[in-house]
């Protein structure tokens, strides 16, 4: 979610379905696929593919609700705007708060994923260095271009294809590891794994907010959402099944770099540097975008007085929200130094699921004349977000609820004492 103020020129409607699909897939296929299968396997075991399907369905509902809301509220801001306009100011504030805290944890997860593949054994120092370096780049106004997004997507797809082919052709993958005849993980295990796997779909909302950039958005956006999410789901099912079949649930759950361990177990240790390079590209590319997006949201919330006004400052030379960027970078460094990858993924998933709870609740307030989605979509999305969020590991849920409560407390303090004339 990004926000902006002031007048903006209308973007040109130059993107077709293929462009929207590529941008959406590029936003989704990133570091998550290199890291999330291990904590998901710890929750669901051999039921991991079913958990992935559940996560994909919830992601589709969220994206569809967001797309319909974006058509009615075309201003930048995502659910920060939808919640405020449809449910009230508190809900908009909580959506923005959940986004900032969830995506800040995502930044830590991206940095730790990069370090786990690039330099096992020295993850934290390398992850801290990556955060500092990319925060410095963003401070000077560096952006990822659309061309770079496509290059990164092509490189990561090639690496994931190499993993699947290496495992499938090795003769060491055991289909019995995919059997559902083993231990049932329980609904908390299945849905908790789906909540973790939801992290790997992060970015799909990029399609939903492209209304001003695509040709015939009423047709193109729903089609692009279905194609991109469907394609990414098939890819994740292939990769997840491959690593599960060659490692087994227990070894997969214990892995800190599951795709590297999978190609090693398949007898292709020479591919480990290739996988590490793919993970580095995906993680650093996602981290660059995340620090950019979270800092802009932080700056916008500060400008609206939902966060300290000091964070709203814009650098006079580089034109970036430099105070917000430094603050976000500092918090991410703190998280990298104190939490592990699984905790970061769980906490991030909780925050983002709360964000989409509010999006689906907002979509339920759309009227028939506002192209409201079929009622089942926001209802299923809302219920799915609630179930997945509260099925995550207990520490993630407790920490998430505590941070949301703190956000609500800040809003109440602002409402009571922060308004002019009080």
3-state secondary structure the chain: CCCCCCCCCCCCCCECHHHHHHHHHHHHCCCHHHHCHHHHHHHHHHHHHHHHHHHHHHHHHHHHHHHHHHHHCCCCCCHHHHHHHHCCHHHHHHHHHHHHHHHHHHHHHHHHHHHHHHCCCCHHHHHHHHHHHHHHHHHCCCCCCHHHHHHHHHHHHHHHHHHHHHHHCCCCCCHHHHCCCCCCCHHHHHHHHHHHHHHHHCCCHHHHCCCCCECCHHHHHHHHHHHHHHHHHHHHHHHHHHHHHHHHHHHHHHCCCHHHHHHHHCCCHHHHHHHHHHHHHHHHHHHHHHHHHHHHHHHHHHHCCCCCHHHHCCCCCCCCCHHHHHHHHHHHHHHHHHCCHHHHHHHHHHHHHHHHHHHHHHHCCCCHHHCCCCCHHHHHHHHHHHHHHHHCCHHHHHHHHHHHHHHHHHHHHHHHHCCCCC
Percentage of the chain modeled with pLDDT above 70: 90
Q: Which pLDDT belongs to residue 11?
A: 44
pLDDT tens-place string over residues 315-360: 777 677 788 888 888 999 999 999 988 899 999 999 999 999 999 9
Of 149, 127, 133, the closest CA to residue 35 belongs to 127
- Is the predicted pLDDT of residue 150 greater than 70, yes or no? yes
Distances (CA, A) of 177 to 247, 254, 370: 8, 16, 48
Lowest-confidence pick of 62-66, 132-136, 314-318, 410-414: 314-318
351, part of any domain? yes
User: Is pLDDT of 125 > 70?
Assistant: yes
Average pLDDT over residues 146-170: 86
> Is 302 inside any structural domain?
yes
- Could you tell me the pLDDT band of residue 213, with boundaries at 50, 70 and 90? low
CATH code for the domain of 406: 1.20.1740.10
State mean pLDDT over 155-169.
Answer: 93
Alpha carbon 255 to chain centroid, angstroms: 21
**Please, is 272 exposed, middle or buried when counting C-beta atoms within 10 Å of its C-beta (0-12, 13-18, 19+)?**
middle
- 107 neighbors 273 (Cβ within 8 angstroms): no
User: What does the pLDDT read at residue 40?
Assistant: 94
Give me the pLDDT at residue 259, please.
95
pLDDT computed for residue 308 by the predictor: 81
* Residue 1, pLDDT score: 45
Please state the domain count of the chain.
1
Confidence bin at 313 (pLDDT 50/70/90): confident
Question: What is the extent of the structural domain holding 359?
Answer: 17-414
Which residue, among 70, 61, 63, has the nearest Cα to 2 in the 3D structure? 70
- Rounded to whole angstroms, the Cα distance separating 271 from 264 reads 8
Residue 144 confidence (pLDDT) above 60: no
Using CA atoms, how far apart are residues 11 and 136, in angstroms rounded to an integer? 29
Query: For residues 164 and 187, what is the distance between their CA atoms, to the nearest angstrom?
Result: 29
Q: What's the pLDDT at 18?
A: 81
Residue 5 counted as domain residue: no
> Which pLDDT value is given to residue 145?
54
pLDDT band of residue 141 (cuts 50, 70, 90) is low
| Distance, CA of 366 to CA of 343 (rounded, Å) | 36
pLDDT score, position 14: 60
Give the mean model confidence (pLDDT) for residues 142-161: 77
The whole-number average pLDDT for the span 114-119 is 90
Evaluate if residue 13 carries a pLDDT over 80.
no
Determine the average pLDDT of the residues in 6-13: 44
pLDDT at 146: 57
Q: What is the pLDDT of residue 291?
A: 79
- For residues 94 and 216, the model is more confident at 94
Beta carbons within 8 Å of 357's beta carbon, 6+ residues apart:
382, 385, 386, 389
3 inside domain: no
Inform me whether the pLDDT recorded for 420 exceeds 50: no
pLDDT at residue 54 tops 70: yes
Quick check: 136 and 288 in contact, CB under 8 A?
Answer: no
What pLDDT is recorded for position 271? 95
Let me know if residue 12 belongs to a domain: no
- Cα(39)–Cα(103) distance, rounded to whole angstroms? 18
Query: Does the residue 236 lie in any domain?
Result: yes
**Residue 10, pLDDT above cutoff 60:** no
């Amino acid at each position: 979610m990004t926000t902006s103020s002031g007048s903006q020129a209308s973007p040109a409607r130059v993107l077709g379905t293929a462009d929207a699909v590529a941008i959406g897939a590029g936003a989704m296929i990133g570091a998550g696929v290199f890291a999330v299968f291990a904590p998901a396997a710890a929750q669901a075991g051999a039921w991991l593919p079913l958990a992935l399907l559940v996560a994909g369905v919830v992601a589709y509902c969220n994206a569809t609700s967001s797309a319909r809301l974006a058509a009615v509220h075309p201003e930048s801001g995502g659910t920060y705007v939808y919640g405020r306009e449809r449910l009230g100011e508190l809900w908009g504030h909580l959506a923005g708060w959940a986004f900032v805290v969830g995506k800040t944890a995502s930044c830590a997860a991206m940095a730790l994923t990069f370090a786990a593949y690039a330099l096992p054994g020295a993850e934290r120092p390398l992850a801290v260095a990556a955060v500092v370096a990319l925060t410095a780049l963003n401070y000077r106004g560096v952006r990822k271009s659309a061309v770079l997004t496509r290059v990164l997507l092509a490189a990561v797809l090639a690496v994931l294809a190499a993993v699947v082919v290496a495992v499938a052709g090795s003769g060491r993958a055991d289909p019995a590891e995919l059997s559902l005849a083993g231990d049932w993980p329980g609904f908390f295990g299945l849905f908790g794994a789906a909540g973790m796997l939801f992290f790997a779909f992060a970015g799909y909302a990029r399609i939903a907010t492209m209304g001003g950039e695509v040709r015939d958005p009423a047709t193109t956006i729903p089609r692009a959402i279905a194609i991109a999410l469907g394609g990414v789901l098939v890819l994740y099912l292939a990769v997840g099944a491959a690593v599960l079949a060659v490692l087994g649930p227990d070894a997969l759950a214990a892995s800190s770099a599951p795709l590297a361990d999978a190609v090693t177990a398949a007898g292709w240790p020479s591919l480990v540097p290739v996988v590490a390079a793919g993970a580095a590209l995906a993680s650093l590319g996602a981290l660059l975008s995340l620090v950019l997006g979270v800092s802009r949201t932080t700056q916008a919330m500060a400008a609206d007085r939902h966060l300290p006004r000091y964070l709203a400052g814009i650098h006079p030379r580089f034109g970036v929200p430099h105070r917000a960027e430094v603050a976000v970078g500092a918090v991410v460094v703190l998280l990298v130094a104190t939490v592990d990858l699984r905790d970061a993924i769980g906490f991030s998933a909780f925050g983002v699921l709360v964000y989409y709870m509010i999006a689906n609740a907002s979509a339920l307030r759309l009227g028939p004349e506002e192209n409201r989605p079929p009622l089942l979509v926001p209802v299923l999305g809302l219920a799915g977000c609630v179930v997945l969020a509260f099925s995550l590991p207990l520490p993630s849920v407790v920490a998430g609820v505590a941070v949301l409560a703190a956000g609500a407390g800040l809003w109440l303090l602002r409402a009571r004492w922060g308004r002019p004339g009080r």
